[in-house]
């Protein structure tokens, strides 16, 4: 900095005032200082402003607490400095009002569906409508927290637990049915193949067991063994 020149560092620009009137912007770099001119530096970097928790009633009467954040940056520095005393407060208020209107028109199931784009879309549109004439470019509105009343949270947890229990019982019933079907198929197979039944019996005996096989009797011997009438 000197009496004859000055430097504008990125990502800033310098708004030049001549006799109290904004007269263009100076880009980053070294510039000559003119007598009677005033220079105000403005940052063009992206910024994040948090909107704290808002207590809002949904259309079905549930009291919710919702917070969000606004991503924004200055795109018209001279307009930003002259359009309003606090330009961001106008954007802040527009997001708050749009949030209350959107929640008041929605039911709890729609809000907790976690489709943030459906909830943040109207907020972004409202913010951009107000921010444009103020030299602000709103890049996005992010839904941060959706806090439910304690009773509603407990009811949701009970519903989730009930669904998990029902799913577990259904899976157990399917497994039992599959096991019974497998046993039925095995019994049918053993009935059709007696040799498999004897083999399976031999496999189930403890080690050291003795198996006695009955030899088949020839037909002629069976005829001689028949008692005479």
pLDDT (0 to 100) of residue 41: 94
Could you tell me if residue 210 is inside a domain?
no
Q: Cβ distance 54 to 65 under 8 Å?
A: yes
Residue position matching structure tokens 């028109």: 105
pLDDT (0 to 100) of residue 120: 86
Could you tell me if residue 106 is inside a domain?
yes
Read off the pTM. Answer: 0.64
Could you tell me if residue 223 is inside a domain?
no
87 and 104 in a single domain? The answer is yes
91 and 18 in a single domain? The answer is no
pLDDT (0 to 100) of residue 1: 47
pLDDT (0 to 100) of residue 39: 92
37 and 101 in a single domain? The answer is no
Provide φ and ψ at 27, rounded to 5°.
Answer: -75, 165
Could you tell me if residue 227 is inside a domain?
no
Ranges of residues in the chain whose predicted pLDDT is under 70: 1-2, 113-116, 150, 152-157, 159-160, 190, 195-203, 205, 208-229
pLDDT (0 to 100) of residue 192: 75
Range of the domain at 182: 151-187
150-185 pLDDT, tens digit each = 676 666 667 667 787 788 888 888 888 888 888 787
pLDDT (0 to 100) of residue 8: 92
127 and 61 in a single domain? The answer is yes
Could you tell me if residue 208 is inside a domain?
no
122 and 69 in a single domain? The answer is yes
Q: What is the CATH number of the domain that holds 73?
A: 3.30.479.30
- How many angstroms separate the Cα of 22 from the Cα of each of 13, 17, 81? 13, 4, 9
């Amino acid at each position: 900095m000197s009496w004859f020149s000055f430097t504008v560092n990125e990502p800033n620009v310098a708004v030049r005032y001549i006799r109290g009137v904004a007269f263009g912007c100076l880009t980053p770099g070294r510039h000559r200082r003119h007598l009677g001119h005033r220079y105000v530096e403005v940052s063009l970097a992206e910024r994040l402003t948090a909107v704290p928790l808002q207590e809002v009633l949904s259309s079905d009467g549930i009291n919710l607490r919702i917070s969000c954040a606004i991503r924004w940056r200055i795109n018209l520095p001279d307009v930003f400095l002259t359009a309003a005393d606090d330009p961001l407060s106008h954007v802040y208020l527009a997001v708050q009002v749009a949030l209350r209107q959107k929640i008041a028109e929605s039911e709890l199931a729609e809000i907790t569906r976690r489709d943030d784009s459906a909830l943040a879309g109207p907020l972004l549109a409202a913010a951009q409508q107000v921010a444009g004439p103020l030299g602000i470019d709103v890049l996005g509105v992010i839904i941060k927290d959706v806090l439910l009343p304690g009773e509603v949270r407990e009811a949701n947890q009970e519903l989730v637990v009930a669904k998990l229990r029902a799913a577990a019982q259904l899976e157990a019933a399917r497994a039992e049915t599959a096991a019974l079907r497998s046993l039925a198929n095995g019994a049918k197979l053993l009935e059709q193949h007696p040799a498999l039944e004897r083999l399976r019996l031999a496999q189930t005996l403890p080690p050291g067991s003795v198996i006695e096989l009955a030899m088949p009797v020839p037909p002629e011997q069976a005829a001689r063994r028949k008692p005479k009438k």
